[in-house]
Amino acid sequence: MKCVGFIGWRGMVGSVLIERMIKKKNFDNIIPYFFSTSQIGKSGPILSKNQDINILYNAYDTDILQEMDILVTCYGNDYTKIIYKKLKKKKWKGYWIDASSYLRMKKKSIICLDPINKELIYKGLEKGIKNFIGGNCTVSLMLMALSGLFKKDLIDWISVSTYQAASGGGSKNMCELLEQMGFIYKSIKYDLKNINYKILEIEKKIKNISLSNIIPKENFKCVLFGSLIPWIDKRMNNGQSREEWKGQAETNKILSSKKKIIVDGLCVRIGTFRCHSQSLTIKIKKNISIQEIKQIISNDNRWVKIVPNVYEETIKKLTPINVSGTLNILIGRLRKMNIGSKYISAFTIGDQLLWGAAEPIRRILEIIILNT
Ligand code: NAP
User: pLDDT truncated to tens, each residue of the chain (372 aa)?
Assistant: 999 999 999 999 999 999 999 999 999 999 999 999 999 999 999 998 777 778 999 999 999 999 999 999 999 999 999 999 999 999 999 999 999 999 999 999 999 999 999 999 999 999 999 999 999 999 999 999 999 999 999 999 999 999 999 999 999 999 999 999 999 999 999 999 988 889 999 999 999 999 999 999 999 999 999 999 999 999 999 999 999 999 999 999 999 998 999 999 999 999 999 999 999 999 999 999 999 999 999 999 999 999 999 999 999 999 999 999 999 999 999 999 999 999 999 999 999 999 999 999 999 999 999 999
Contact 44, 14 (CB under 8 A): no
Contact 16, 324 (CB under 8 A): no
Residue 251's nearest CA partner among 104, 80, 103 is 104
Whole-angstrom distance, CA of residue 142 vs CA of residue 135: 11
Our answer on whether the CB atom of 268 is closer than 6 Å to any ligand 1 atom is no
Cα 11 to ligand 1 centroid, rounded to whole Å = 4
The sign one gets for the Cα dihedral 203, 206, 207, 208 is positive
* pTM of the predicted structure, to 2 decimals: 0.97
Q: Whose CA is nearest to atom 40 of ligand 1?
A: 168
12 lines ligand 1 (CB under 6 A): yes
- CB of 168 within 6 A of ligand 1: the answer is yes
DSSP element (H, E) containing 263 = strand 262-266
Q: Which fold has domain 2-135+358-370?
A: Rossmann fold (3.40.50)
* CATH 3.40.50.720 location in the chain: 2-135+358-370
Residues 6+ positions from 110 with CB-CB distance below 8 Å: 117, 120, 121, 124, 129, 131, 132, 133
The closest residue, in CA terms, to atom 41 on ligand 1 is 168
Q: In sequence order, which residues have a C-beta less than 8 Å from that of residue 340 and are 6 or more positions away?
A: none
CA–CA gap between residue 167 and residue 173 (Å, rounded): 6
At the top level of CATH, the class of 139-165+230-351 is alpha beta
Ligand 1 contacts CB of residue 14 (under 6 A): yes
Residue ranges of the chain that CATH labels 3.30.360.10: 139-165+230-351
Active-site amino acid positions: 137, 276
